[in-house]
Amino acid sequence: NYWNAASFITSSSYLHFSTFQGETSADISFYFKTSASDGVFLENLGNTDFIKLELKSATEVSFSFDVGNGPVEIIVRSPNQLNDDQWHRVNAERNVKQASLQVDQLPLEVRKAPTEGHTRLELYSQLYVGAAGGQRGFLGCIRSLRMNGVTLDLEERAKVTPGVKPGCSGHCTSYGMYCANGGKCVEKYNGYSCDCSKTAYDGPFCIKDVGAFFEEGMWLRYNFHSPGTSMKDLVSRTLLSSTDPDTTATDLNLNKEELSFSFSTTKSPCVLLYISSYTQDFMAVLVKPSGNLQIRYSLGGTKEPYNIDIDHRNMANGQPHTVNITRNERDIVLQLDHYPPTSYSLPTASDIQFNSPKALFLGKVIEIGKIDQDIYKYNTPGFTGCLSRVQFNQIAPLKAALRPTNASSHVHIQGELVESNCGASPLTIPPMSAATDPWHLDSASADFPYNGQALGDGVNRNSAIIGGVIAVVIFTILCTLVFLIRYMFRHKGTYHTNEAKGAESAESADAAIMNNDPNFTETIDESKKEWLI
């Protein structure tokens, strides 16, 4: 019922329902969305009585009625435009004591009913939603129309009514922001959905990471062209163009790239990602033997590739890390995890076009032709760890491999690719300042936690804590032993027996019993009998 909606496509369009039964009380609520400045939402007439809700202007909603005492009108004025093609809620109520109108979260407008006069609203005509009696009807969408607790089926009636369409287009205007990470909002019959096909994410709102675990020696190749494609169409502009239409490649060359992914590993060196070409151009993201990250560009014009070295952070620590690289011609912006972005620039002699991209490799480079020597050294044994949400412009190679899509034919895998999100979540630790970051290059004045006096103070403090803990443990053991000893010996000392009185002066035990119990003799005499055979 929340999405039960109808679209009024002309100002003369309307839906009709049975007469509204609201003689003594009326409770009407609905949502509307429009770009028009005025129009009637609904109206029901009697001989002289009536009830009507309308958009009087771009900032005014009116609730008017007549129960026989003369017309009454309540107006809510909004400080903002109501014809902004956004959803707005209207709630109108009327009873024998008062009437009220509220729009969105604006203050409630209330009008008291007269103490004397008519109180019953007598209506005879059909209820019209939209245009009625030649008036200019509402142009836009109405949904979730409830009258005295009953939801009117706008969609079903709109299916058989000309000028009105079931459902309501434009949900994305209000809810499109929930499609995250570049997901595209798609209008649906009774709502919306998020198209995640051109993102590295999955799920209803494009927020679920798609990643995989790579074993040693495993690799993935994504070909930018399909088998059998002509040389003229080797690189698909649809695939390689980013979300910005201005970044579309011309003549198989790229002036701009957007690369993002997440990874985690404990082994170095390795090749995380490599993009080859039909020329000598390439781009690579590497983990050096020291565990530091390196981004390498070779676009021609220079003898050696242009390297960006991140030498002050160990990225092979088993923790998930995110990498975002954006290049716009000569300008490169790199962001690692939650640290601020850093800007770099290609050398003046370097070309600014990535010529004829061929394939994207993950985990290892298996390419015909000459390969950079450092990349060749880092290529063995290969990457071991997790890669997640890999996206190059609008290409998501891991998602294409793990989800059946039209791009799956571009993927070739060596080894068993196991889906995993182990490299999905980046570190959420806020970045440290340069003065306190021990990995910062200029942190000579930083206070390292294990040098000089800091180490001695730390040892003394730790020793005090350990000594206190040991003392508490010993005290607890002693208390427990004392309690046990007292418990074991509390019954020792005086004890009681059933020894007969006078046993001290009697000649024997039997005599003592006989002295103590006079009846004992009789008992013996009666029970003792001898027989001679």
Query: Which segments of the chain belong to CATH 2.60.120.200?
Result: 5-166, 210-226+254-419
pLDDT tens digits for 428-476? 444 545 554 544 554 444 444 444 444 344 445 667 788 888 988 898 9
pLDDT for residue 61: 96
Residue 305 pLDDT greater than 70, yes or no: yes
Q: Rounded to whole angstroms, how far apart are CA atoms 27 and 63? A: 12
Q: Which of 403, 404, 400 is nearest to 412 (CA)?
A: 400
The fold of 210-226+254-419 is Jelly Rolls (2.60.120)
The one-letter amino acid code at 518 reads: P
Contact (Cβ atoms closer than 8 angstroms) between residue 211 and residue 388? yes
Q: Where are the beta strands (DSSP E) in 224-319?
A: 253-254, 256-265, 270-277, 282-287, 293-298, 306-310
pLDDT tens digits for 168-182? 866 676 677 889 988
Question: Which stretch of 159-163, 489-493, 516-520 has the lowest confidence by average pLDDT?
Answer: 516-520
pLDDT for residue 458: 47
CATH number attached to the domain at 5-166: 2.60.120.200
Q: Where are the beta strands (DSSP E) in 46-158?
A: 50-57, 60-66, 72-77, 88-94, 98-103, 109-112, 127-130, 140-147, 150-151
- Averaged pLDDT of the chain: 80
Q: What is the mean pLDDT of residues 29-48?
A: 90
Two tokens, residue 394 = 């609008």
Q: What percentage of the chain has pLDDT greater than the value 70?
A: 76
Two tokens, residue 383 = 């990457």
Q: Is the dihedral of CA 436, 439, 444, 447 positive or negative?
A: positive
pLDDT for residue 485: 84
Q: Rounded to whole angstroms, how far apart are CA atoms 35 and 98? A: 32
H or E element in which residue 373 lies: helix 373-378
Q: What is the mean pLDDT of residues 237-263?
A: 60
Strand partners, 333: 326, 343
Two tokens, residue 148 = 């005295």
Q: Rounded to whole angstroms, how far apart are CA atoms 370 and 441? A: 35
Q: How far is CA 146 from CA 44, 91, 409, in A?
A: 15, 10, 51
Q: Rounded to whole angstroms, how far apart are CA atoms 164 and 17? A: 14
Q: Rounded to whole angstroms, how far apart are CA atoms 92 and 148? A: 10
Contact (Cβ atoms closer than 8 angstroms) between residue 20 and residue 124? no
Q: Rounded to whole angstroms, how far apart are CA atoms 203 and 10? A: 37
Residue 186 pLDDT greater than 90, yes or no: no
**What is the residue whose two structure tokens read 């993201």?**
285
Two tokens, residue 220 = 């993935």
pLDDT for residue 510: 56
Contact (Cβ atoms closer than 8 angstroms) between residue 191 and residue 204? no
pLDDT tens digits for 279-292? 888 999 999 888 89
Residue 72 pLDDT greater than 50, yes or no: yes
pLDDT for residue 197: 85
| Highest mean predicted confidence (pLDDT) among 8-12, 52-56, 316-320, 420-424 | 52-56
Contact (Cβ atoms closer than 8 angstroms) between residue 325 and residue 333? yes
pLDDT tens digits for 255-267? 889 999 999 999 8
Res. 111 pLDDT band, cuts 50 70 90:
very high
Per DSSP, the three-state class of 171 is: helix
Q: What is the mean pLDDT of residues 41-64?
A: 93
Q: Is the dihedral of CA 189, 194, 196, 202 positive or negative?
A: negative
pLDDT for residue 147: 93
pLDDT for residue 459: 47
